[in-house]
Amino acid sequence: MEWEAGEKGEKLDMEGKPDGGDEKKEVAAVVDSSRSETWVSRLQTQHPVAPIQVVLHGAATPPAAAYQPTPTPTPLVGLASLNSREYTNRVSLLLFVLHLLVAAAAVCFFWFKGIQGLLDSDSGKARNGRQVLKFWLPPIEGASVLSIGLAFAWQKAVRSWPSVMVPFILWACFLATMAAGILLLCFSLPATDGLGVAFMTFSIGAGLYACWVTRRIAFTGKVFAQALRPVTKFQDVNGPAYLMLGVGFLWISAWCFAVIGALNFYYPTLTILALVLSLAWTAEVMRNVANLTVSRVIALYYLRGMQSSTQFSFQRATTINLGSACLGSLFVPTIEALRIMARGLNLLEGEDEFLFSCAHCCLRVMESIFRYGNSWAFVHIAAYGRGFVEASQSTWGLFEKQRMEAVVDSDITSAVCFLTGVTSGALSLIFSASWTFSSHKHYTATVSLLAFFVGYLMTRIGMALPHGCVACYYVCYAENPGSRLFDSTIPDRLNQIGSGREGFVPTPRFPRPNFRT
């Protein structure tokens, strides 16, 4: 602007000089336009002017409109904190730590008793202990190694071919448990015959279940495929599950040798039963630690679009949120068992008044339990640092708000992960039972049962990744259904259930009206 004004001044000055005439001086005024614009903008900001009103000639002049200041914008509602530093469920955390200390002390003591018995060469207990060490321990260790390999294989297969693996797991469980039951019956031992009948009964139930959920298989495979997509963005998200498998293998190895020492202690049956319950709780906590780690990483990606650190999430799962993992590890298996029982009674109630009353009672219990304790709670525990009961209420409240109860009740993801563990347990049983029967057949029943238990626990730890991803998919959709990270999978399913096009028969959480007279 100054340069243009200067040019004008120079032109006027040149034009004012005629040839041979008197010099005529012209003054060119240069205005600092930028400074004037700033001054005008300040005036407009400090003293806003009312809008110009156009009034026709002869019309009454309207009164001047009063000045109305610009309304203050409404403050946004703050998002829930993602970095809570408060320890959750401290009582259950304290109980688990005390239990772990007692279990570690017991394992060390039984190790001492086992070594002491082995060194005593003159006693019959020493000879029995050496036989157990030679013929009982190796098949269990072999089953542990096999179950770790199966856990890796199942998880990799589910991540690579989710739609194919869902029906494969359902029918693989049926075939594996049936084969295990037939093998145990072929041994023709009283203890193995009882186990064989139990496995064949379970196999028949698994086959009927696979037929019953046929209409849900395609949707479950699609949910697995959609939920596992974010895993490719986090290369190390599977690390905690692998770490828990390694720790679980070491703990089971130490635990198995402690069982040998417990055989020479007072009340060996009760002692071994206590060790089994301790192992079950510890392994379940390991699985839920991996679940919490995966849930935090995936949930923050869905809810905030954040690339969360897997290491930081694992640290939170093993410290701040460990109490919730301990409490959930006690209640969630019980909740799942009650859910299966309620579904079975709902299918079998028929016209029998007793079964009808039991079905209604179980459904009422399920309604209360699912509101105050469910497996979906681990998503909000990991994301917001809530306690187990509070997180259960918040997640189920979201499902009720979005009217997703029918989809959640009909979800078979937990059943698929459970049947994967049963399949691995049956395969470990077949491996260990065959080995033991060929070397020392009197240990066949105990080795078979323990190999199945170890195979099941290891595979459930490995399947924490797909299970946690699916839980995040449901819960995060219910929290923010308009997110661009979700497709139309869940809305389409809700429309299908509502329209009845699927021929879908859900398991009700609420008792159905009694129309009987």
The domain spans of the chain are 90-118+138-497
DSSP string, 406-475: HHHHT--HHHHHHHHHHHHHHHHHHHHHHHHHHH-GGGHHHHHHHHHHHHHHHHHHHTHHHHHHHHHHHH
pLDDT for residue 358 = 67
218-246 mean pLDDT:
92
Distance between CA atoms of residues 193 and 77, nearest Å = 64
Q: Looking at 237-251, 258-272, 344-358, 363-377, which range is the least confident one?
A: 344-358
- Looking at per-residue pLDDT, the higher value among 333 and 40 belongs to 333
pLDDT for residue 153 = 94
Distance between CA atoms of residues 101 and 98, nearest Å = 5
pLDDT for residue 344 = 63
Residue 90 has pLDDT above 80, yes or no: yes
- pLDDT per residue as tens digits for the range 196-210: 999 999 999 999 999
489-514 mean pLDDT:
64
- Looking at per-residue pLDDT, the higher value among 360 and 237 belongs to 237
The band of 33, judged by pLDDT with boundaries at 50, 70 and 90, is very low
Q: Looking at 145-149, 202-206, 269-273, 360-364, which range is the least confident one?
A: 360-364
Hey, what's the torsion of the CAs at 318, 324, 325, 326, to 10 degrees?
100
Distance between CA atoms of residues 99 and 93, nearest Å = 10
The band of 297, judged by pLDDT with boundaries at 50, 70 and 90, is very high
The band of 61, judged by pLDDT with boundaries at 50, 70 and 90, is very low
327-348 mean pLDDT:
75
Q: Looking at 114-118, 138-142, 179-183, 305-309, which range is the least confident one?
A: 114-118
Distance between CA atoms of residues 474 and 378, nearest Å = 12
The band of 162, judged by pLDDT with boundaries at 50, 70 and 90, is very high
Residue 214 has pLDDT above 60, yes or no: yes
Contact of 491 with 499, CB cutoff 8 Å: no
pLDDT for residue 349 = 53
CA-based angle 142:170:197, to the nearest 5? 65
pLDDT for residue 212 = 87
Mean pLDDT (the chain, rounded): 80
Distance between CA atoms of residues 171 and 440, nearest Å = 32
pLDDT for residue 43 = 40
Residue 382 has pLDDT above 70, yes or no: yes
Distance between CA atoms of residues 345 and 350, nearest Å = 9
pLDDT for residue 223 = 93
Give the SS3 label for residue 75.
coil
Contact of 451 with 146, CB cutoff 8 Å: no
- pLDDT per residue as tens digits for the range 397-411: 999 899 898 888 888
Residue 289 has pLDDT above 80, yes or no: yes
pLDDT for residue 365 = 72
Which residues lie below 8 Å from residue 291, measured CB to CB, with a gap of 6+?
A: 325, 378, 464, 467, 468, 471
Report the number of secondary-structure helices (H) and strands (E) in the chain: 20, 0
Residue 28 has pLDDT above 60, yes or no: no
The band of 498, judged by pLDDT with boundaries at 50, 70 and 90, is confident
- Looking at per-residue pLDDT, the higher value among 61 and 418 belongs to 418
- pLDDT per residue as tens digits for the range 71-81: 444 333 346 67
Residue 96 has pLDDT above 60, yes or no: yes
Residue 68 has pLDDT above 50, yes or no: no
408-433 mean pLDDT:
92
Q: Looking at 13-17, 240-244, 281-285, which range is the least confident one?
A: 13-17
Residue 420 has pLDDT above 90, yes or no: yes
- pLDDT per residue as tens digits for the range 430-461: 999 999 998 888 889 999 999 999 999 999 99
Contact of 463 with 455, CB cutoff 8 Å: no
Contact of 140 with 134, CB cutoff 8 Å: no
pLDDT for residue 343 = 63
pLDDT for residue 517 = 34
The listed range with the strongest mean pLDDT (261-265, 321-325, 351-355) is 321-325
CB burial of residue 130 (10 Å; 0-12, 13-18, 19+): middle
150-154 mean pLDDT:
94
Q: Looking at 16-20, 143-147, 308-312, 496-500, which range is the least confident one?
A: 16-20
